[in-house]
Structure 1
Amino acid sequence: MSDRGGRPSDRTESPASSGETAGSFDPASPTSSAPVADDGASTGRLVVVCGLPGVGKTTVAERIADHVDGRIRRTDVIRKQLFDDPEYTDAETEAVYAELLARARDDVDDGGAVVLDATFADARFRADAQETAAEAAAEFDLVEVACDEAVVERRIERRDGISDADFEIHLHFKELFDEVASEHVVVDNSGTEAETFAQVDAAFGERATDGDAAGYDATDGDATGEGTAVEGSTVDGDARSTTLTDAE
């Protein structure tokens, strides 16, 4: 099903679980083709940022990318690169996530860091990402972004980004989202941008660079959520921390 289910014919893509810390993998097995450091360890890092549509995954992913000096890949952009007129079918979603993980594998094989910004409602896709990291990366982190429903509704109403998800889609995926049962970080994006960033900083260390994140809404001081800060981003550019608009 399309990342847990055929969407209704309109355009689609959890409650926070109890995990509190990011998981990390030991270096990949000796058969891994990933680049290795002088001590033989793989050097890549893969971070999955998951959650319901509208909770602010991109805001969180951008902050994490600053910490890990990584690039961001989003399923929304990949879908629209692969399909001129996306229909959000099961087969389409399978292809999108396969491509997402293939690109992520290339990133970590090159020794870089990549942040995957997508719903990942189906636990199977999260498991596939974890397997990719286990094979090729030095570190893996799973982050679930949560947000109060009333805040999500308000943000979705005013955003104008690449994501096709509306509030009806948010509610649809709330029914389908597989609980995140493995060890992970939970970021509550219900409050201000500063409060959200403080949670990310606590999990990922000191912020690499200063400056305001592009998803901030000066009107009420909260993080505007996914899709608002990515227009005009360069797809498949070489620079790290470049948002590659790809998440549902």
Structure 2
Amino acid sequence: MESVVSKQNNLKSTLVDILVMAKRNILKIKHNPDKLIDVTVIPIFFMVVFSYLFGGAIAGGVQAYLPIIVPGILIQTLVMSSSATGTQLREDLDTGVFDRFKSLPIVRIAPLAGLVVSDILRYIMAALFSIGTGYILGWRPEAGIGWLIVASLLAIFGACAISWVFALIGLVSKSSATISSVSTMVTMMMSFLSNAFVPTNTLPTFLQKVAEYNPVTYLVTAFKDLANHGQFTSSASMTIFIGILLVLIIAPITVKIYNRKI
């Protein structure tokens, strides 16, 4: 009985430590609001520019292009913002703040887990600004608000899973500038070689194959199926499968390297 109580207390203590570290990261955002540009200003900018610049050429008009571009910009924004996990982790390591954390009576995993948890707020903001801009431009989710929330939660889940990849990059890279360069290249390739901005049947045959197996394609398609048709299709199942697989493979490696570094 004492063992069970002890485990419960340890779990409670761990959760409290993680939430405290998450609050720390949120307060840093509060005092440095420029860190939110990638989840506020950028999705608005891309949504407006892409809609009016490519809408006529790709879909024959802005309104016809919105069902394509809104999910595309949302997913691209979430994938790009997930790289902030690695950047922030690298900056904390470079400034030596983790040396201070080691002297505190907290579990060792709390700073890393708190960073991942606090980024969920960024993903929510990215979804709100992307969807809100699309709504102002005239986009409407045909399946209703309930399914739109489900679709957004699935997209945020995908971003959380991808953030572990960037956390690993943050641990093994030598500077935050390296992470920014790598993340920009990776997110751009994943976004443009998918169905985020154009129908895949308009791509050359070899690029269609690349887009078909791109995780972003599964995520965008799953979002469209849920938000527009209220259907949980195979793309949604694949998104969950890939997300869980990423966490199961990447998270333990990240934690192991993290424990060695601190």
**Does the alignment reach a TM-score above 0.5?**
no
The structure, 1 or 2, with the larger RCO (C-alpha pairs under 8 Å, 6+ apart) is 1
Which structure is higher in strand share?
1
Length-normalised TM-score, structure 2 = 0.25
- With the length of structure 1 as denominator, give the TM-score of the two structures: 0.26
